[in-house]
Chain A
Amino acid sequence: QQQVKQSPQSLIVQKGGISIINCAYENTAFDYFPWYQQFPGKGPALLIAIRPDVSEKKEGRFTISFNKSAKQFSLHIMDSQPGDSATYFCAASKSGANNLFFGTGTRLTVIP
């Protein structure tokens, strides 16, 4: 059973546009929600993370929006650039546990 559901599977955005990736989770015990960026041939790199005590977190062009009641969170990439073209994974875990449950990934392509 997929603990974290991610959509869309792929996304094509024009340079300068906003990329939005959505995730939903079932387990209300989850309280840590990171996003990872992965380029071909590389390991996932931690991009930004949020905990349920805040509804939004912004770091540069990347923003996480979190809706606890809906059990959903999303990644917004503002002013998307061709260098942002990669696969993005959302994940979730519980307090005291280092086992991340990952979404299935979104392949983002930013066209010039």
Chain B
Amino acid sequence: KAGVTQTPRYLIKTRGQQVTLSCSPISGHRSVSWYQQTPGQGLQFLFEYFSETQRNKGNFPGRFSGRQFSNSRSEMNVSTLELGDSALYLCASSPTGGLNEQYFGPGTRLTVT
């Protein structure tokens, strides 16, 4: 099976712009979670989608949003980008959610200038 894929892999944006990142989960997986990884804050949970519904949400401002499509692919959007949003954004998929293992993609490296 192909692993989790994320596009684009690298992105450079200017402060104030918005950005959309995409994630395709492992075939058959219905849960997609998003994480932000920075040197200062480490790995932090953003939100989880299951069957097109947001099921869990981390402690991030409303500028961070996401959605999931009927084929389980997910997108996350960050509006009004700030310098502090520069990070590696990771997507993880899980078969059904709950107690199942999460498998991460390679991430999208976002740089905000």
Contacts and interface: CB of A to CB of B under 8 A. Distances in A.
Interface string B29-41: 0010101000000
A91 to B, nearest CB: 8
Contacts of B92: 43, 98
A99 B90 contact: no
A86 to B, nearest CB: 14
Contact of B48 (A36, A42, A43, A98): A98
B64 interface: no
Interface stretch (B66-74, B76-84, B103-111): B103-111
B95 to A, nearest CB: 10
Given A32-B99, A43-B90, A44-B90, A99 B104 contact: no
Interface stretch (A66-74, A75-83, A101-109): A101-109
B33 A99 contact: yes
Nearest to A97: B56
A45 interface: yes
How many residues of B sit at the interface, in one of the four size bands?
20 to 34
Nearest to A102: B43
A44 B56 contact: no
A49 interface: yes
Contact of B107 (A43, A46, A91, A101): A43
Given A43-B92, A101-B45, A103-B42, 18 more contacts: A42-B106, A43-B105, A44-B104, A95-B99, A96-B97, A96-B98, A98-B55, A98-B92, A98-B97, A98-B100, A99-B45, A99-B56, A100-B33, A100-B102, A102-B43, A104-B42, A105-B42, A105-B43
